[in-house]
Amino acid sequence: ERAETLPSSWYSDPAFHETDKEFIFSTTWQYVGHVAQVQQPGDYILGTVASNPVIVVRGKDNILRGFFNVCRHRGGPLAIEERGNCHILQCKYHGWTYLLDGSLRGTPKFDRTELFDKKDFGLVPVDVESWEGLLFMNLAKKREPLIKIMNNIPERIKPHVLSDRKFFRRIHYDVNCNWKTYVDNYLEGYHLPFVHPE
């Protein structure tokens, strides 16, 4: 009987978007890809979490790891293709190289610098977890485990089993609106009989 929406400034003021990134997207699990995209050692995918470039890579030890896709030297990107396979991660700016476990391996023309120890400059890790074949990353130091958040979903979507699904392709859509507008529209069913009658 009483309808109310968020003030329009929450959708249009850039300060609110920064707040959203800090308190929502940086502290919650965000989808970045499918485990089928990183099957073999050296396979990687790129993503973005709260405007931060991230990379998920399968190590030679077959472990999936997440990092910021940023060199520790001057912030250059380590990978630029959306997905691929590599033996090492190499900065595209100064050529620093990192092993797939994130440890710093090579620093061209920087090896004899005083007070510099490679083990102090490995890649900054970002937590990555797999659930039903879907990969999620979380930037927060303190967070709920992904399984706790997703706990009841398999029962709720039966007879569908997400882990039985195969990855086919990913399509990116750029939508020129604040994310809350898009989610508001998705969550309300008022338009369904008119736009999606089937």
**Of 56 and 182, more confident:** 56
Confidence of residue 116 (pLDDT cuts 50, 70, 90): confident
Buried b (16+ CB within 10 A) or exposed e, 134-150: bbbbbbeeeeeebeeeb
Whether pLDDT at 112 is above 80: no
Q: Within a 10 A sphere around the Cβ of 26, how many other Cβ atoms? A: 16
d(CA 83, CA 64): 14
Beta strands 52-58; 89-90: pairing state: unpaired
Confidence of residue 106 (pLDDT cuts 50, 70, 90): confident
List, for residues 141-174, the tens digit of each pLDDT value: 888 999 999 999 999 999 999 988 899 988 888 8
pTM of the shown model? 0.88
* % of the chain at pLDDT higher than 70: 99
